[in-house]
Amino acid sequence: MTATTQRAVLIRAYGGADAAEIAQIARPTAAPGQVLVRVRAAGVNGLDWKVREGFVREAFPLRLPAVLGIELAGVVEEVGAGASRFRIGDRVMGPIGGLGAYADFVAVDEANLVRTPPDLDDVHAAAIPVAAVAAWQSLHHAGPIAAGQRILIHGAAGGLGGYAVQYARQAGAEVFATASTAHVDYVRSLGAVHVIDYLNERFESVAEGIDLVLDYVGGEVLDRSWQVLAKNGAIVGTTSPDILARTPSGRRGLWFMNKPDAALLERLAAEVAQGTLVSTVGEAVGFDDIPAAIERNRTAPRIGKVVADFSR
């Protein structure tokens, strides 16, 4: 007999660390154009705690209670009417195009998913879909990247930042990056030429004439970054929905929200599997630790991505 309920991590109201809880909810079925995925692993993202606390409620309006989580890796359990890209038993990975990945089973539009490369385990696969694609898209959001451009990446040791450093370096840019003392060597190993230890040095004293700032941190870091821009430079922000209101006259600030791109994800996942793109899982946690991992992501960012391994 098939179970009708499943585990999920959800919020019933916006709030702090205690707002995310583990609960039992109804198990979904695959609607037309969808597949039902048995989740094996899910990536933990900064968006989780921002959604939890209501910081992005205007950009991401929710009907509460709402299950958290935005990316997964798992196995196709059921194929909905009209869905034809996958078969039952296929290993898949991808963003779910909204919220709800922290559950044992998730119905996902098949267009968002790609097959997981055979050489990638589910935990490492779940670390890729959102960060790898968002880093690529945000890097190119303000316009084409040319060799010799000076690019400053804030939050360079994290999931987004680690990919962005590599992409910018591959494009021939001169990469400046901020990181904590413990993560300086890691960021340098990814290809950043100028790694600034923000605990001991202000990035304004090192970076100047910057063509593009990728701000994956926000707050006062965004406000301090305008002064390092070249005349026609731009800041692309992923953590400050109000960036347009905070952009000084004569400056260019752009708010970025990633969009699922299965073709791009497929290419990037293949590069990770082949070893030409570094994807770092900084920590793997069990399902029951997801609420605590969301809070740790807010208070103590780590190298790479945190991933929830549902087998734990």
Q: For the chain, where do the domains classified as CATH 3.40.50.720 start and end?
A: 142-255
Q: For the chain, where do the domains classified as CATH 3.90.180.10 start and end?
A: 5-130+259-309
Give the tens place of pLDDT for each residue, 107-125. 999 999 999 999 999 999 9
Give the tens place of pLDDT for each residue, 292-311. 999 998 888 788 999 999 99
d(Cα 85, Cα 96) in Å, to the nearest integer? Answer: 16
Q: How far is CA 126 from CA 24, 45, 147, 149, 253, in A?
A: 23, 11, 31, 32, 30
Q: Shortest CA distance to 50 belongs to which of 21, 15, 80? A: 15
User: CB–CB of 74/122 below 8 Å?
Assistant: yes
Q: How far is CA 249 from CA 92, 226, 242, in A?
A: 46, 11, 15
Q: Shortest CA distance to 229 belongs to which of 243, 210, 207, 205? A: 210
The CATH superfamily assigned to 142-255 is NAD(P)-binding Rossmann-like Domain (3.40.50.720)
Q: What confidence tier does 288 reach under pLDDT thresholds 50, 70, 90?
A: very high
pTM of the model: 0.92
User: Which residue in the block uniquely carries the two structure tokens 């999920």?
Assistant: 8
The per-residue pLDDT for 241 is 80
Give the tens place of pLDDT for each residue, 41-92. 999 998 899 899 998 787 778 899 999 999 999 999 999 999 999 999 999 9
The CATH superfamily assigned to 5-130+259-309 is Medium-chain alcohol dehydrogenases, catalytic domain (3.90.180.10)
The per-residue pLDDT for 1 is 42
Q: What is the mean pLDDT of residues 164-174?
A: 96
